[in-house]
């Protein structure tokens, strides 16, 4: 979903600040809904919180670095970085699909997930 949102924002010609704000709000809305679903399914426990806490700290650190850097990066460079990252994501997704389709990467079945 995020790559589609990024492409849409780039095509709209949104200002850098507006783009970042939209991305952050979409991310926040997605995570709040995920937490609600986990809570409703009774999957929100101490183990999950302890597992994800370091990732949340890393994400917050990256957010603050990005916020500090955005005022020092020209708009043209920012758009170029976004396009390069989108291309990298596209290549990774294509490789992941190809490897799983050719049987190189194992598929995770629902039975396997339930037993974990």
pLDDT per position as a tens digit, 20-66 = 888 888 888 988 998 899 889 888 888 888 888 999 999 999 888 88
Number of domains, the chain: 2
Q: Say whether both 48 and 68 belong to one domain.
A: yes
**Domain residue limits at 35:** 1-72
Q: Say whether both 68 and 101 belong to one domain.
A: no
Q: Say whether both 7 and 58 belong to one domain.
A: yes
The pTM score is 0.51
Q: Say whether both 85 and 97 belong to one domain.
A: yes
Q: Say whether both 86 and 68 belong to one domain.
A: no
Its sign, for the CA torsion 49, 55, 56, 57, is positive
């Amino acid at each position: 979903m995020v790559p589609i949102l990024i492409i849409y924002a780039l095509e709209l010609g949104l200002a850098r600040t507006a783009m970042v704000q939209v991305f952050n709000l979409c991310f926040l809305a997605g995570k709040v809904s995920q937490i609600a679903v986990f809570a409703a399914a009774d999957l929100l426990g101490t183990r999950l919180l302890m597992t994800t806490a370091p990732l949340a700290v890393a994400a917050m650190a990256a957010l603050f670095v990005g916020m500090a850097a955005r005022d020092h990066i020209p708009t043209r460079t920012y758009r170029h970085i976004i396009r390069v990252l989108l291309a990298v994501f596209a290549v990774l997704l294509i490789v992941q699909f190809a490897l799983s389709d050719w049987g190189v990467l194992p598929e995770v079945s629902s039975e396997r997930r339930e037993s974990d």
